[in-house]
Amino acid sequence: MNLAQIHNVYFIGIGGIGMSALARYFAFIEKSVAGYDRTETPLTKELVAAGMEIHYEDNVALVPDKYLNSAHTLVVYTPAVPSQHTEYQYFLANNFDIKKRSAVLGLITKDSFCFAVAGTHGKTTTSSILAHLLKESGVSLTAFLGGISEDFNSNFLLEGTEFSVVEADEFDRSFMQLSPNVACVTSMDADHLDIYGNAGELEKTFIDFTKRIKQGGKLFVRNGLPLQGYTYGIEDDSDYCIRNITIERGTYIFDLETPDATLKGVEFNKPGRHNLLNGLVAFAMAMESGSPPHRLAKALATFKGVQRRFSYQLKNEEFVFIDDYAHHPTEINAVFEAISEMHPHKKVLAIFQPHLYSRTRDFVDDFAKSLSRFTNILLLDIYPAREEAIPGVDSQWLLSKITSGNKALISKEQIIPRIKAENPDVLVTMGAGDIGLEIVKIKKEMSYAI
């Protein structure tokens, strides 16, 4: 791909969080950008406001004329787009330069010093912390994030090209398109079994990804994973380790040990031990930029967070509302433990929207076990995303396996009335589907109610 010859970039699935970051990049370097997505969202509205042309019907006739010139148009698509998609088939049949999002990301970052964050959980938070640390250290970087950073109010940051920060996504083996200088692996729990078939194949692919690190590069791995690299952990024998944790006014305060020194009294504001680990590995990776450790520690204390990652929507003495992207049993466990640590002895109401029929089927017993930790749990119907329904796999089936004393399957229209009826001290919404679109409504109604 020769960017100098590309005048137009057309995205099939432009509203995806990773795709939209690439769209912002191409617009920033003054390419014409347009695209298709299935539905209009707040994110697509932002892209339109930034000057991009977007339509919501799979129809070649709606593609602006200048993007139909194959000599000067790059077509970028996400693997979530079905192969029978009409526009995709048109571009394929007419010999356009068509590339997956991951391939484009690999090409853009190959000439920079690339930091890649991999793992079945924690990618977005870790990469956002890393980008924040590097920015606060004054280095020249570009960051492509899988969520909206509350520090940048965007999923894209461009303040130079010496360093790049990317998420190394295991879905569809996308991370095999990257060749990072420094990488981390936060977790390797079974997921995306519709792609990999079994946990062993997923683990093997993570190992293959680590072999793509450039010669002389470094790998950081959470202590206990079956990978060779610099380890990180909490109160253990890791190369990078957090010790002596206390909590003051909702803030973690701890000592941070590196192979060369110990930093005392480091602060971090995001709840949950999983977030502490994300912060720790981001710190370890950022040190590879040459930034002073004390400056990085100071920046760690100012990290605001990522939208939909244990994000406080309302927080006062009477009521706390937390929203999280959790869509895997391990992530639900992490949310439960963070709430228990930060808000002990409170009445908690959890609302969960399962994501994908295949994931629900493959992990139904694990989901039931994780969700049963909440005394009060409400389920929404499964969000299908790219999938067709699977007979017998639905939220009622999952609900039947949950052992919580107070559980129910509800519609979106019932969300606010049920919250008011339950009158919780702490409300948490979880899921990777369109439950995120309900947050503004809940926040507005509960602001009036308290």
Binding-site sequence positions: 119-125
Q: Check residue 381 and give left, alpha or beta (phi > 0: left; psi -120 to 50: alpha).
A: beta
Amino acid at 440: V
Closest CA to 389 of 356, 432, 434: 356
Half-sphere exposure of 437 (CA within 13 A, CB side): 10
Half-sphere exposure of 87 (CA within 13 A, CB side): 27
> How many of the other CB atoms lie within 10 Å of CB of 125?
29
C-alpha distance from residue 95 to each of 63, 81, 89, 92 (Å): 16, 18, 10, 6
Length of the chain equals 450
Interior angle at CA 360, CA 357 and CA 364, nearest 5: 150
Q: In what order do the strands lie in the sheet with 73-77?
A: 53-55, 32-36, 8-12, 73-77, 97-100
The encoded tokens of residue 112 equal 């920079």
C-alpha distance from residue 65 to each of 90, 297, 387 (Å): 14, 51, 31
* DSSP bridge pairs for 131: none
Closest CA to 251 of 237, 272, 230, 277: 272
166, 114 contact by CB (below 8 A) = yes
H/E stretch holding 189 reads: none
- The Cα 223–Cα 234 span in angstroms is 9
Binding positions for ATP are 119-125
115, 130 contact by CB (below 8 A) = yes
C-alpha distance from residue 132 to each of 113, 145, 295, 372, 444 (Å): 16, 11, 12, 36, 30
Q: What are phi and psi of 11, to 5 degrees?
A: -110, 130
- The Cα 160–Cα 429 span in angstroms is 36
Closest CA to 444 of 422, 421, 416: 416
